[in-house]
Structures are given as structure tokens and as C-alpha cells.
Structure 1
Amino acid sequence: MGEDVNDPQAEGFDAAFQRTQALLQGRQPIFEAAFRAEGALALADVLLPVGRGSKRGWRMVEVKSSTSVKDYHRDDVAIQAYVAHAAGVPLTAIALAHIDSSWVYPGGGDYQGLLLENDLSDEAFSRADEVRGWIAGAQQIVARQRAPKVAVGKQCGDPYECGFLAHCQRQLPAATHPISWLPGRRSNALQAHIDAHKLTELKEVPDALLNDSQLRVKKATVTGKPYFDRQGAAQALAAHKLPAYFMDFETIQFAVPIWPGTRPYQQIPFQFSVHRLTRTGKLEQQAFLDLSGNDPSLAFAKALLAACGERGPIFVYNAGFEKARITELAGRFARLSESLLALNERVVDLLPVARAHYYHPSQQGSWSIKAVLPALCPDLRYGDLDGVQDGGMAMAAFQEALSPTCSPARKAEIERQLLAYCALDTYAMVRMWAVFSGKTLEENLV
């Protein structure tokens, strides 16, 4: 039980400050308490009453969705403590609570143990002078007639993207071929050279600082001519004979688990598509999708084993993801463990083949399947799909389908969209395999 301060965004900060002061006269926990002092304001996640009589005070708890304490969390806590103290709150302690990613939900609505608390009282209280300096510095900048001249750099995205980043970037000359398209550019020597010479164009980067992959990207981008090592790609895939399977998963993760036996942020697979290409060139597809709201894991695992057969390569794109999910399923379901792990032994990753042997200027430094596919197979475009067009949208659609407010008609629409999206992922791999292998498909079935 506790009292919640009104949302300052909806009802105004003055109302939030006034309600906080009123609630501080009581002894109930307070959520989203609002303080202002010395030209600064702060919102506290939780205030808990402590002590009695003349020793009454409050303990503050800041709650983060991360799985560890970050340096910027420590700054946040120091600011919260300073503003609360300056506003006259008798703050006796301050802690930061974050999610314990190793905790397993036992079910039944029992979430005890989900959060780990870290007492940061001594550290936060000792940084008062430092925080006072931050506030003064910020006020000086706000009082200026012109924005300070600060070059766009790493600080603009650390720890989060600055709200003014797009504004500042608009002041920069537009690059024809931005250096951001160069993969792996964060090596010390390369990035130091880029920063020192304020380079913006890919063509300005010296070849001597680039590895083979970066050189291919630079050459293809500047010349506008794709790179395709057909012989190398075909050789990389030659050992993998038909029948072959092409597999893709969609997953969901919850900060607060909803299914017993699962952990915070655990990737739970709820959908797969598997295309099977026979020795005669026949293409078949099997799909799994569970929108029931129950834990889909066991049914997913059983259906996957049935869809993938017992022999033949299983092609994926970015093998680490699918193999990790299979390993996790094997750990949860002992009776299926041996069969599931056997699938991992058959997995063949198409991503390294693409990285080593193909690059098109339109990829703009990315080898994601959504960047490679339209270059390699222009007739296939994720943008043509209705509704769900990427993994993030698939997660959002799945969550919407699980909501009690989702109508049957909308749920059926989501089902169609998810099935079409995942099917395109695996069909895309079939087409990529065909191009890289130098083969043609007798049937173009999705």
C-alpha cells in the first residue's frame, strides 16, 4: 500500500510538488514524489517511511530496469539525494534496486526476489558538492543567449541519445557516403584518425587503416559497384547437401516474467518458420505460432523437432541467436534435450558467407538480412509486408495479441501478419542460399 503522486506531465509540476509535501506529513510509502530546490527538480520512484518520533525520516529507492548498477545510475542517485535534502526532506538512506536476471519466476504472482537493492547512501550523500556544481553549470548554459559550440561526438549517445542530437546533426554538412557506413570503425587507431581529422566522408579514410572487409565496403560504396565473390560463396556452401532446412525464430522477453520457470529478459521463442528444400528442388514450409497466452516453450520445442527432421543442414542467419534459444530449451526440457542439441550440430550460418563474399552499396555498412535481401533479391522486400516488418514489430504484435483487450478480429490479423513475416525470413534465406550456391530454384513457394 502507498500513495501515488499525480503525474506532473498531466497535472503540472506545481500540483506534484504540493501533493508530495502533503504526503510527507503522513507515514505511508510515496511513489513518484516530486521535489524542487536550488533551481533543480527530481522525481523519486519510492519513498519509504523509517524511524519514529524525532527520528522519523525517509528512505528513497530508485528502481531501474537494468540488471546491474551503472555509473550513470550512481549520478542519478546522487542528484536525487541532493535535491531531496535541499528541499527539506529528512532523507536517511538511498538505495538503487535493479532486476536480478538470474531470478526464476516460481509462479502464482510471487515476485519476491525479482529486484536486488544496493545501498548507495554514503556515496550519494558525499557527492553533494559535485552535484551542486552540475546544477550551477547547467543553469549557466541555460542562461546563455547562444548554444555552446560542442562538436557532435560519443557524448551525444552516452548513456542515452541526447534529445538535441538531430538538431545538432542538421548543422553539419551532409555526407554523400557517411563514415558511419564503415563497419568496425571503432578500433582505436581508425577512430582516433577519424576524430583527429574530423572526417565525414568514407572516401577520406586512408586505405592503410582499413581491414579487408572495410576496404570492400569503401570500394563498393565509392564506385557504386557491388562486390560478389561467387566462387568463394559457392565453395563455402558446397559441403552442405540437400535436403536442407531454413529456420528462423521470433521471441519475446519480459522484464517481469509472466510464465513460471522463466527469468527476467529471457528470450522466449513463440514462433518459428522452417522451409525445407528437397533434393528434387521442392520447397515446403512449416510454421509454429502460439498466441494463446500460455508459455509456448514446450510446444515450440516439440514442433521444431518435428519440422527439422533428423538429417540435413539447417541454415540460419546469425546462428548465435537460434542456437542459444535451442540450448535454453534443452536446459528446460530434459526429455527433449538430446534431440534439441542435435539440431545445433546441424546449424549452418549464412551470415559469415554474406560477410565474406558479398556486399552491395545499398547495404550501407550492414549485413542484416533486411539490408542484404533487397540487394541480392530485389523482388523480395520487407516493406511490402502488411503490419509486421521487423523483429521489434513482431514482439509488439505478440504482446498486443496477448492483451485481454485484443479483439478476435485483431488477433486473427496479427496472426496472419506474424506468419507472413517469419515465412519471408526463411524464404529469404532460401533465395540467398540459391544465389550464393549458384543454383536455381525450381519452385518459388513461400
Structure 2
Amino acid sequence: MMADTLALLDDADLRRWRACARRFWLHRQAAAEEAAPAPADPTDADVVHGPALDAALRASFPAGVAVPAPRTEADWNLAIARTHAALAEATPQTEGWALLGACLASNDGACARVDLVTRGSHGWRLFKLRYATVGTEADVDAVALWAHVAARSGLRVQSVGLLLVDTGFIYPGHGCYAGLLREVDLGPTLGSRPVGHWLTAMQACARAPEPAVPLGAPCTQPGPCEQLAHCALPEAPARPGDARARLEIVGRELAAQLRAAGHVDLHSVPLDALPDARLRRATRAVQQNAPVLEPAAAPLLRALPYPRRFLRFETIGFAVPVWAGTRPYQVLPFQWSCDTVAAPGQPPEHHGFLADATGDPRRAFAQSLLLALGNDNGPVQAYNAGFERNRLRELAAQFEDLGPALLALAERIVDLFQIARAHYYHPAMAGSWSAKSVFAAIAPDLGAEHFECEGLHTPLEAFARALQPGLQADKLQQLRAALLAHGQRQTAALRHMVALFEQRGEEEASTCPSGPAFRPCSPDQPG
């Protein structure tokens, strides 16, 4: 047994050291002072994998044995003993056998908790499990360390690799996930990972005085370093001018040219230096610190007949599919929200659909949508409508009996994104044309750009949580209420956008400056 297992180096230490020696040193000092185990290696918890992760793994390795995750030094020593005992008892005849979370320690100061170990014909096969389509350099580093520790622990390692999601897998249902995970051999890459030298350098670093802050340290990549407060770095100098006026709003290449010409931000850029109407409109809005709407937008929208509908979809794509006939990461609609305005001045009527946990929601989604929207030929307004159109076409291909009606509905969609991009700009958009940015700019009081419920920040996270088995009824109801309310805010924002464009377009028509820099866009003019 190891005398001080928690002092051993693991793949999380290696990741920190490879990023920044100071980050590694500070973490090791904090861990020693607190006499607590290092935090677990970050996982893919921030990605919606789906509620069937355990079922998928068990389907691939039905005879799998799990070693409980160790938290204390005593736990680690027990887990190492359990690992060696399980490996000693494993037989080649046991089909689908794997050891999950195998714990090992080497005699040169490292430890590893290997995601998955299986038997091969000539030794042990080690895998890092990622519910993703590709691995990262940090994954390769971790596997290299695991292979080093396993070999130093006396194991004969036949191969090492990643287990990744195969996007060509189609889930047949009934928990049959065999084939979901594909193997990627990392053996050829391990020669570029001198793990033994790395461990020696890490141990020397841990014993040395506190390292200086290195130049170019990735303090915020891919996320903020947990040791930033200890480094007391000076705050980055504020960008000159208003961040909403940065030159990159007109594109990186043009921004570089403008910067070379001596411009710091858009406030000093002459409109005639910009090549198209969309960029001139954005710059004009920044310079006058007020939104600009070309008058041509209003007649486009006023020409739309009633009843008018305002539509938003929400979708999800699970790494591990939960509905038969679907693939990993397939974009699947689970909620639609729609406001209908029957006539000018009439209050909107809201309709919607939100899937439950009873099965594949696509047919119910399509049927309910056609029932609410498919009984006339009126316009259906959406933002970035290519998204909604593509979902309707996918549903039409999936359900032949509903196909003609779904395709007809797709043809009725009017894209407010295209109208806004060709005729409107608000400084608060800061160069972004996402629905979040536009909604926040035109209707900040509605809060349509935000979603927050139970610590979740997107509708897809909330829906994924709602599908988790065993969720308390009150939590489920809270999640569903938040999703429905979010849908209502989104459709209200679409209505607000159209009303604003129609009203302000009339005002702009009487006050719009003349001259080529302010010429209104025609409906066919590229934005």
C-alpha cells in the first residue's frame, strides 16, 4: 500500500502542470494544507448527454464491475486493493467484462483512476470514456499517464485508447446500446508523451519555491483558472472606447484594415469607407448611439396578412439517444411556442407543446403543430427561420402521412432574421445577430434572452433534467413551468420586434437622411 496516496500525482495534476506550472504548484500547496483529495477531473457534465448513460455503458459491458470512487487516503488504498483483486479474478471467458474506475498507483509517485479496463488476447486494454465524438490533447495525456502507471504497477498493457460516441449508431430501442461506442487506438501517439520525464519535472516543481507568473499563461483558457486570485494579476487595460463600437463588428479583415488606417473604434470611421449598406447601418447606429431602421422594413411587414403567427422551436441532441430510431446528437424538437394575432389590435392567443417523458416526442410535436397552425395559409414569422424549416422538413421525411402538411407549413415561414439583418441595427447588439442579442436589444424588459431554473441556463438543459428518472414531482413541474414561460417570452419578443419595425419604419420614412450612405435597402438587396 502507498504511504501517502493523496500526495501522488494524477492526470488532473498533469493537466494543470501542462497548462501552467504555477497553477499546478498552487494547487498542490492548497491540497497539502487542506489535507483533502484533489478535485475530480472535469467531466462532460456541462454537456447534455441524456438520461441513459449507465444503460449505454452496461449494454456494451454487461459483466462490468465498478470500483467505487475513492475520496480519502484510506479509500484509495482500498480501491487499489480491489482493483488488483478484480484483475486477478478476471477470466478471458467472461464476455462483456470490464473493470470500471480501476485504481492504480506506481512506484514513481503517480496514481490513476482508469475509466475502463478490459482483457485482451495479450494483456490489458485501457480506455478513457468520453461521451463526445472526438478526444482532446488532455485526453491523450491522461491515457498516457494511465498506461505508465499501469505498466509500473506490473500490468501487461496490450493497448490504450478512447471510447467515443459513434454518430452513425441508430438506437433500436429496448436498451440495446451495443455499438454506440467506438474505439480509437492511441498507442501510436504515446511515444510523444514522455510521462516519466513529466513526473520527475512535476515532482521537482512541487518541491521548488513558488513559480513566477509565466508570460502567456492560459489563465482564462478554456475557462478561468481556479488559482487566479492567488496570482493577483493586474486587470487587463480597458479597451478604448465603447465595447459596442469595436472594429470587429464590421468583420476581422476589414477591422484590421481600419486599425492600420489609425481607427480605434467605429466612432471615427467614415461611412463611405464601408463596402455595404449593412456595415454602414451598424456604424451609423454606433455613432449616433441609437438604433437605425431602414423604412423599407415596415412595408414588408405591413404587407403580411392576418392571422399572423409567431413561432419558436426548442430542440435537443443527446450523446446517448433515448428514443428508438434516433442517432447520437440528432437535433430533435421537443417544444414549440406560438402566438396568434387574428386581426390588427387583437390580443395574441398563445399555443404551445412541451414533450413529456413518455417517449419520442416528434410525432406528437408535429401533430399538435399542424392542429394549431395548419388550418390556413397565413404567415408564420420566426427568427432565423431556416432552423424551423429544417426541423419541419426532417419531420416530413420521418412521417410520410404528415409530410405534405408539414412541408406546406414550412413554405409559410417568414424569416424575421433576414428582414432585421437587411434593415435594422441596434448598438446593444454589439455585432451579434443571435436571437438572444436581438431580443435583448429590442425588448430588454421581456427577458426573452434569458433562461434560468434550478441552476440551469438553457432550455435543453432543463428538458434533459426533466427526463431524468426519479425526479421529484415538484421539481419536474418547476422545470416544465419555466420552459413554458420561456416560450411565451420568446414569442412575445417576436411580436414586439414586428410591432417596433412597423411603427418605427413609418417614423424613419419621414426623417431618414438622404444620400448613398443612408439609402434604404430593397427587399432583395443583400444585407
TM-score range, shorter chain: 0.7 to 0.9
Deviations 1:193-228 (Å, cap 9, x if unpaired)? 98x9xx9x756998879987566556645x571231
Q: Is 1:305 aligned to 2:370, yes or no? A: yes
Please name the residue that 1:254 is paired with: 318
Shift of 1:87: 4.4
Q: Is 1:293 aligned to 2:358, yes or no? A: yes
Which of 44, 59, 65 is 1:3 aligned to?
65
Q: Is 1:227 aligned to 2:291, yes or no? A: yes
Which of 453, 471, 474 is 1:406 aligned to?
471
Alignment of 1:76-87 (within 5 A): 76-87=142-153
State how far apart, in whole Å, the 2-side matches of 1:102 and 1:394 are: 26
State how far apart, in whole Å, the 1-side matches of 2:385 and 2:214 are: 45
Q: 1:358 to 1:174 in 2, by over 3 A?
A: same
Root-mean-square deviation (Å):
3.9
Query: 1:33 aligns to what SS in structure 2?
Result: strand
Q: Is 1:30 aligned to 2:96, yes or no? A: no
Please name the residue that 2:126 is paired with: 60
Please name the residue that 2:119 is paired with: 49
Q: Is 1:370 aligned to 2:436, yes or no? A: yes
1:233–1:357 contact (8 Å) kept in structure 2? yes
Please name the residue that 2:165 is paired with: 99
Shift of 1:238: 5.4
2:246–2:266 contact (8 Å) kept in structure 1? no
1:230–1:438 contact (8 Å) kept in structure 2? no
Q: Is 1:116 aligned to 2:182, yes or no? A: yes
State how far apart, in whole Å, the 2-side matches of 1:184 and 1:152 are: 28
2:448–2:493 contact (8 Å) kept in structure 1? no
Consecutive unaligned residues of structure 1, counting only runs of 5 or more, are 441-446
Q: Is 1:321 aligned to 2:390, yes or no? A: no
Alignment of 1:157-172 (within 5 A): 157=221, 160-164=222-226, 171-172=235-236
Which of 146, 151, 176 is 2:216 aligned to?
151
Which of 80, 84, 87 is 1:20 aligned to?
80
Consecutive unaligned residues of structure 2, counting only runs of 5 or more, are 1-62, 91-97, 506-527
Query: 1:334 aligns to what SS in structure 2?
Result: coil
Q: 1:187 to 1:35 in 2, by over 3 A?
A: farther
Q: Is 1:339 aligned to 2:442, yes or no? A: no
Query: 1:335 aligns to what SS in structure 2?
Result: coil
Q: Is 1:275 aligned to 2:336, yes or no? A: no
Query: 2:325 aligns to what SS in structure 1?
Result: coil
2:281–2:424 contact (8 Å) kept in structure 1? no
Shift of 1:39: 4.8
State how far apart, in whole Å, the 2-side matches of 1:439 and 1:202 are: 28
State how far apart, in whole Å, the 1-side matches of 2:116 and 2:266 are: 53
State how far apart, in whole Å, the 1-side matches of 2:148 and 2:283 are: 50
Please name the residue that 2:460 is paired with: 395
Q: 1:214 to 1:183 in 2, by over 3 A?
A: farther
Please name the residue that 2:481 is paired with: 416
How many correspondences in the alignment? 424
Query: 2:148 aligns to what SS in structure 1?
Result: helix
Shift of 1:47: 0.9
Shift of 1:242: 3.1
Query: 2:371 aligns to what SS in structure 1?
Result: helix
Shift of 1:361: 3.2
**One-letter amino acid matched to 2:117:** L
Shift of 1:345: 1.8
2:383–2:415 contact (8 Å) kept in structure 1? yes
2:392–2:406 contact (8 Å) kept in structure 1? yes
Query: 1:254 aligns to what SS in structure 2?
Result: coil
Q: 1:359 to 1:192 in 2, by over 3 A?
A: closer
1:251–1:269 contact (8 Å) kept in structure 2? yes
1:226–1:360 contact (8 Å) kept in structure 2? yes
State how far apart, in whole Å, the 1-side matches of 2:296 and 2:356 are: 42
Shift of 1:84: 3.1
**One-letter amino acid matched to 1:44:** V
**One-letter amino acid matched to 2:102:** A
State how far apart, in whole Å, the 1-side matches of 2:258 and 2:201 are: 31
Shift of 1:110: 0.7
**One-letter amino acid matched to 1:4:** A
Please name the residue that 1:443 is paired with: none
1:249–1:272 contact (8 Å) kept in structure 2? yes
**One-letter amino acid matched to 1:278:** A
Shift of 1:115: 0.9
Q: Is 1:430 aligned to 2:495, yes or no? A: yes
**Bigger CA drift: 399-408 or 281-290?**
399-408
Q: 1:400 to 1:164 in 2, by over 3 A?
A: closer
Query: 1:288 aligns to what SS in structure 2?
Result: strand
State how far apart, in whole Å, the 2-side matches of 1:431 and 1:179 are: 23
2:133–2:164 contact (8 Å) kept in structure 1? yes
Query: 2:414 aligns to what SS in structure 1?
Result: strand
Larger Rg: 2
State how far apart, in whole Å, the 1-side matches of 2:220 and 2:450 are: 34
Deviations 1:422-443 (Å, cap 9, x if unpaired)? 0111121011011123389xxx
Which of 443, 447, 452 is 1:381 aligned to?
447
Higher relative contact order (CA 8 A, sep 6+): 2
